[in-house]
Each structure stands twice: as C-alpha cells, then as structure tokens.
Structure 1
Amino acid sequence: MTAFSTIEAASVTISHDDALRALTNASKAIDKKAEVEILYAAVVRSAPGGIAISATSLDLTSTTFIRCQAPKGFLAVFDCQTGLNLLKKAKKSDEVTFTMLEHGCQVSIGKLNVKLNEVANRDEELPSINDTEIRQLNQYFTIPSAQLLKIIEKVSFAISTEESRYYLNGIYMCPTTDGETSGMDFVATDGHRLSRFSIELPEGAEGLEGVIIPLKAVKELHRLLKRKECPENVAIRATDDLVQFELDTEETLLTKLVDGTFPDYSRVIPTKPAMTASACPRAMADAIKQVTSIAVEKGKAVKLTFAPGELTFTLDEVSAGSAEMTIRSDNEIDFVIGVNPSYMLDMFGQIEGHVEFGLIDEGSPMLIRDLANPEVTMVQMPKRL
C-alpha cells in the first residue's frame, strides 16, 4: 500500500497520444463492478525519468511509463473514465497537462481546463499489490510478441466462462518434458473442447510451476499485442501467485493468477487415433453454417458422416425438417460422429491450413490438427445425436 504524499502544487505535460494510450490502458484494468471508489481511479505519479500512469482492480494492474519532465513526488489521482472521456473529445495536436491541486487535479488540454475532484483523501492509501510480492517475481523469460499473440488467438476461444469452474477461467501456462526435449504448453478448455499451443521452453523458464492466467488479463494482453507499435518481445516475470508482462520498458500488465488446479489435459488428447481424415476448414465452416440455418434449438448436434472421398453434414430438426450438405474429404473411412456446430466454427476460425481429424469411436474425443500449424492441437468432445 502506498500513501498519498503532501507536496506543493506541481504539473507535468505530455503529448495527447501518450496520455490517451496510458489512460486507455489504465481503464482496461478497472473492475466496472467495484464498490470502492478508489478502484475507479487513475494514478499519475512521478517515476525515474518521467511519470507512471496506472490503475488497478487489485487482481489486475496496468502501468504505462511516459518519459517527460516531472517534479519529484508528483501525485495526482482522479476518476479514470472521466479523464479518458476528456481525451477522446480533445484534439490530438493538443498537449495534456496534469496539475496537482490542494483537493484534486486540473487537466489542461489546449484551451480547456478541467478541475477533477480527488477520488480519495490525501491521507488515504492507494491500493496496490504488495511490493514484496512484486520483488519476488524471480522467474524471468521472454517470448516474441508475434508468437505470444498467435498463442492467445489459437487458444483463448476454448476458455471457460463458467464461474463455478473458475480453474478453467484462463490459459494454463506450464513447462513440459518429453524425453530429453523441454517445451512449454499454453492450454485452455471448457470441458467440451480444448486447444493447446506448444513451443520450445524459453530460456529462463526452467523450474516454472504451471500457472493459470485469468481471462481478463488474457484479453488485455491480446489488445496490447495487436497494436501496430507492439515491441518485438514480451518479457514475462512470474511467481506462483503473480505474473507480469512487460512490453518494452513502457507498459506492464501485472495480474494475480487463478488460484486453482488445472486438470490433467493430456489425458483427453488422443495419442493414437484409429482413423484419420482431412478436409478444407472453409468448406466445412460453410457447410455447418448452411445446414444449421434451419436449427430451432441452439447447439443442436450436427452429424458428420465420413465416407471414402467425402464428408456429409446433416442436421435433423423435428419441427423444421432436415438439411444435408456434402463436401470433398481426403479419407478412406466410414465413420459417424455428432458435434456441437458452434464449437466447430470457433475452431475452424483459428485454422489456417487443412484440418486433420484423428478419430477413435463415436463416444471418444476427436483430435483436430491444423496442418499449417503443427504446434497447435485441438480436441472436440462428441455430442450425442
């Protein structure tokens, strides 16, 4: 916990772009359902070489460092969303000045001067993750930004949003060993489908225990990585309770981890499927969309019928009738299985090459591979017809 300090009025000036970026980042960390007023605050404080603008929900903290001239001990606290709204309506060419007042903060943008009331009293303590915990982030390694973005996009669709299964509400990151080969898996599952992305073990990640990165942090990290100005690498610091993502030295995302045990995902991934088949994911997605156009019941199972050289999609709807569509498929098998169409579409949306199916029987998990991305493994549980 960090206490407010009492100093004489002072100000800092930064560009509109930097201010907008920092407050946008801060706003993403805030819990919109928080009952404590201070948890809606943006905190602007002096830091070596500039200022740091941050916000926290106590589970997720976003901090943006901006190089500028800043007086020592500068501290301004105001409602983050109000400040962000001001910046969104201002001209991008205008500089932004934050000035400390006795009971608040003045934000000056061009000719506009707005006094914002302080969110907390001067002697109130600002919430933060304990400094001792942050210093214990002794596990350090880096992952290329483009690779981390790809991991999130290939895996996150399978994250569960059921609060009762909180231990599935994130991406599981864990080191792996296969004989003499060491790697790292990123896995998500909701119990009905699973997606795993495997990479070589980054240097420095040896000894890391498996951790579950919560969904909110995953979404914000994805947003940061998608920007054009994203750095080449992301530094990751971790303990059993926290993980911090550092984008250069300017932006950090610190999150508490999901406190739970991720299931042994390797047990549901078929290792020796009895049959294989492949097809074009775009053709399959189109077939699913067309046959489900008559569906009345949401999530109604679609029947996949594999026959030599073809794959037929069938949906039977008692009140509406039935729909059927056949596409070409590279296989020499006869096999029938039911699937959830929405789950299949989510998977096909992340597949870049041809789909390869690994099949056992109609009651066993179905292995799905992207032939263009061998590091990705997906599993779909069958649905009763």
Structure 2
Amino acid sequence: MFKAEKSAMAAALAITNSVVERKNTIPVLQNVLFERDEAQPGKLLARFTNLDIEAAVRFKAEIDSSFEAFTVPAGTLCDIVNKLPDGADVSITGERNDKLTAVTVKSGRSRFRLLVLPASDFNKMKFGDLPYSFGLPAADFAAALASVGFAVSTEETRYYLNGIYLHPAEDGACMVATDGHRLSKRIVRTEIDSATPGIIIPRASLRVIAKILPKEGSVGIEVSDTIIRITAGETTLTSKLVDGTFPEYQRVIPADHQMIATIDIKSLATSIDRVKTVAGERGRAVLFSFADQALRLTVNNPDAGEAEDEVTYEGEASLKIGFNANYVADALAHLSGDRFEIGLGGEGAPAVLRSVGGTRENLIVLMPMRV
C-alpha cells in the first residue's frame, strides 16, 4: 500500500512510547493509524492517541492507489523499523479477506506480518474551536519548559499543580510551575493576545512536547479553554488541559528583599552535593548560614552524622535559614550563567533566585524549611 524510507518511518514513529500505552485495555489505543494527508498528496499521517493526547506526524511515502487507512500495533512497528539497517526502504502491503485483516512489512530480506484493526475503530479526539493562537521560538520554548518543568507537582490530590501554567504577560507568554515548596517562572518573548486564557498544560503532555520541538525555528500554538494544539515541523500535537484553577502564584513572590547575596553557581552546587552525602531522606535539610561574605552549609543527621562546607558570596546578607538540599540543587541546575542572586527576607520568608544578568522576571522561589 505504501513504501517509505526507514528514516522517515522512524521519525514518524519516534513519539510512540511517549503517547501510546502498550498495555492499554482498549486494543486500538495501542495502535498507530496510517491515513492519507489530504492537505499534502504524497504524504501520509501517522496518528497516535491515548484519549488525552493526540499526535499526528506527517511523512513522505510512495502511496499506491490501493491504499486504505489502517491501524497496527504502534510499539511493535516502531521496534521493527528501528531494528532495520540504516538507509533501508520499508514497504507495507495489505492482506484482504473481504476486508483488510493484516499487513506485511518488508525491508530487504526481512518480513513481518501484523494484524490490523479498522481505522474506523480509532478514537480521534474532538477538539472544537481553538480561537487563540500565537507563535514561540522553539529553542526559547524548550528552554522555558526545562527551567520551569522541574517544579511541577507530582501530588495527584492537587491536580491543578500537575502541569505548567501558561498565560499572557506584558512582554510575552509567561510559564509557571509550583509544587507548593518551590516555584519557577519564566517569560518567553512573543506577541500574544491579552485575551488568551490562562491554561495548565498537563505533566504527561509536557514530556511529549519536549520531544517534538525542533532546535531552531518557531512553533505554532492554538488554545481554547480546554485544548492546546502545538504545530512543530511535521508534527501536530493536541492535548487536553488540566481542568482546574492555578493558584495566584504572584502572592508568594516577595516584592523586595532585605538582603541580596551573589554566589557562584558551580561552587554552591558542588558544596551542596558534598554535605548532602550525610543528609539522607530524614535529614535532607541544610542550614545556610550567611555571615561576613561566607556562606556555611551545615547538615546534622542523627542517623548518619554531620557535614559542613563553605563558599564565599558578595553582599551584606546576615541570616540563618534552612532549605531542602535537593530543591536547591535542582534550582541551581536550572539557572543560566555562572552566578546567581539570592534575595532573602528572613528565616521564615521565601528566597528568590535569579541568574546574574538574566531577565528579572525569570526566577525561582524556594520555601524555607525548619532545621
């Protein structure tokens, strides 16, 4: 029914494991649907869904006049294609008994027979109108997802925190995530209608989005109150949104700080890595003692022992405050440049971290913990 290069097929099937559940109780949801691309003759669409996310990937193929839409197990076909030699061609022909019942996948001396399910069984999502649209630079979007996504909550009871909140801001599209202990915020410069609704992109969809974004160029985004669609190159990803209200996160970001210290990112990261060796799960709190431009990190774990390390800083901060060692390490890993500023307001107040020389709106907030 069609023939395509291995590289084209492999690219089309690359997001299989991100969308398709191999052990889904609904058999057709384990399948990929192949259908003609009505907008571009000479190309096919490989379509995947799990009923919350639907992805369609366009690829070039030589299509026979006898072609008809069909579905086959996506994971199996993906494995077959990936194991074929580079540069190979892949042909798929149909086997009929009144209707299409199986397909044969051939490449060189390799031959595989896969059972099909009817294309009519494939559950295409119903999207409705997507009245708001804007574009984002792909590289900036990917960087923002990475620098914000680490703070997404995994606590299912607070489902409204299980994603990234995207909303229009004065200078572009603002992305925010928080798990209640930390918050990350980043703005991507673009033109976006102020009437665009704030949306929460689910955690599961974020993983797929990160896979489809190109390294350069731009991506198109369309949204409604319930759906987001992202067009990146030959891939169109459509996802349901989290049905909930994101909290008023601005309230937890201090407007100003009593003290600001500037610290080398690598020096502090390695220092934290050393002292948390004895922290363990029960004693993961690290005491940060700022005094006379020397920051002393102290861990006291009754079950494992004690640790102490020190780094220098610039500024006039004088304070003792506790933080979760892993949260600080995560924050440092998602700050750009070599140095960062930490704004402090007191031992019980949130701390704000910003890269030196970076945009002021791009920040990470860490809640202190009792030590």
Superposition pairs of residues 326-337 of structure 1, within 5 angstroms: 326-337=310-321
Task: Tell me what 2:364 maps to.
Answer: 378
**Alpha-carbon separation, structure 1, partners of 2:133 and 2:273:** 45
Task: Tell me what 1:358 maps to.
Answer: 343
Superposition pairs of residues 240-279 of structure 1, within 5 angstroms: 240-248=225-233, 250-279=234-263
1:153-210, Cα deviation, whole Å (9 max, x unpaired) = 111100111111111111100013xxxx45321001111000000234x335331100
**Alpha-carbon separation, structure 2, partners of 1:96 and 1:29:** 23
**Alpha-carbon separation, structure 1, partners of 2:267 and 2:137:** 32
Instruction: Report the 3-state secondary structure (helix = DSSP H, G, I; strand = E; otherwise coil) of the residue aligned with 1:261.
Output: coil
Task: Tell me what 2:113 maps to.
Answer: 115
**Alpha-carbon separation, structure 2, partners of 1:265 and 1:32:** 37
Task: Tell me what 1:137 maps to.
Answer: 130
Aligned amino acid, residue 99 of structure 1: T
Aligned amino acid, residue 166 of structure 2: M
Among candidates 69, 74, 82, match of residue 80 of structure 1:
74
Task: Tell me what 1:189 maps to.
Answer: 178
Aligned amino acid, residue 220 of structure 1: V
Task: Tell me what 2:35 maps to.
Answer: 45
1:344-371, Cα deviation, whole Å (9 max, x unpaired) = 0001111123121111111111111111
Q: Is the 8 A contact 1:234 1:247 kept in 2?
A: yes
**Alpha-carbon separation, structure 2, partners of 1:252 and 1:231:** 17
Task: Tell me what 2:121 maps to.
Answer: 125
**Alpha-carbon separation, structure 1, partners of 2:146 and 2:366:** 17
Task: Tell me what 1:64 maps to.
Answer: 57
Among candidates 292, 295, 301, match of residue 276 of structure 2:
292
**Alpha-carbon separation, structure 2, partners of 1:121 and 1:222:** 31
Instruction: Report the 3-state secondary structure (helix = DSSP H, G, I; strand = E; otherwise coil) of the residue aligned with 1:39.
Output: helix
Aligned amino acid, residue 21 of structure 2: D
What is the Cα deviation at residue 16 of structure 1? 0.2
Q: Is the 8 A contact 1:25 1:63 kept in 2?
A: no
Among candidates 282, 292, 295, match of residue 308 of structure 1:
292
Q: Is the 8 A contact 2:28 2:121 kept in 1?
A: no
TM-score normalized by structure 2?
0.93
Relative to structure 1, the CA distance from residue 77 to residue 190 in structure 2 (aligned partners, 3 Å threshold; closer, same or farther) is same
**Alpha-carbon separation, structure 2, partners of 1:110 and 1:372:** 56
1:77-128, Cα deviation, whole Å (9 max, x unpaired) = 100011011112111121111223220222112222211011x357x53101
Comparing 214-223 with 37-46, which one deviates more in the overlay? 214-223
Structure 2 residue 222 is the aligned partner of structure 1 residue 215: no
What is the Cα deviation at residue 373 of structure 1? 2.5
Flag structure 1 segments of 5+ consecutive residues without an equivalent. Answer: 1-10
TM-score normalized by structure 1?
0.89
**Alpha-carbon separation, structure 1, partners of 2:54 and 2:109:** 32
Task: Tell me what 2:323 maps to.
Answer: 339
Task: Tell me what 2:144 maps to.
Answer: 151
1:290-342, Cα deviation, whole Å (9 max, x unpaired) = 11112243452100000121111000112333211111111222101000000
What is the Cα deviation at residue 278 of structure 1? 1.2
Q: Is the 8 A contact 2:171 2:187 kept in 1?
A: no
Among candidates 218, 225, 232, match of residue 233 of structure 1:
218
Among candidates 198, 205, 208, match of residue 187 of structure 2:
198
Among candidates 100, 108, 117, match of residue 94 of structure 2:
100
- Count of aligned positions: 361
Q: Is the 8 A contact 2:16 2:78 kept in 1?
A: no
Relative to structure 1, the CA distance from residue 231 to residue 321 in structure 2 (aligned partners, 3 Å threshold; closer, same or farther) is closer
User: What is the aligned-residue RMSD (CA, Å)?
Assistant: 1.7
Flag structure 2 segments of 5+ consecutive residues without an equivalent. Answer: none
Q: Is the 8 A contact 2:53 2:240 kept in 1?
A: yes
Q: Is the 8 A contact 2:174 2:185 kept in 1?
A: yes
Aligned amino acid, residue 208 of structure 1: T
Structure 2 residue 305 is the aligned partner of structure 1 residue 321: yes
Instruction: Report the 3-state secondary structure (helix = DSSP H, G, I; strand = E; otherwise coil) of the residue aligned with 1:158.
Output: coil
**Alpha-carbon separation, structure 2, partners of 1:54 and 1:290:** 47
What is the Cα deviation at residue 32 of structure 1? 4.4
Among candidates 35, 39, 45, match of residue 25 of structure 2:
35
Task: Tell me what 2:332 maps to.
Answer: 348
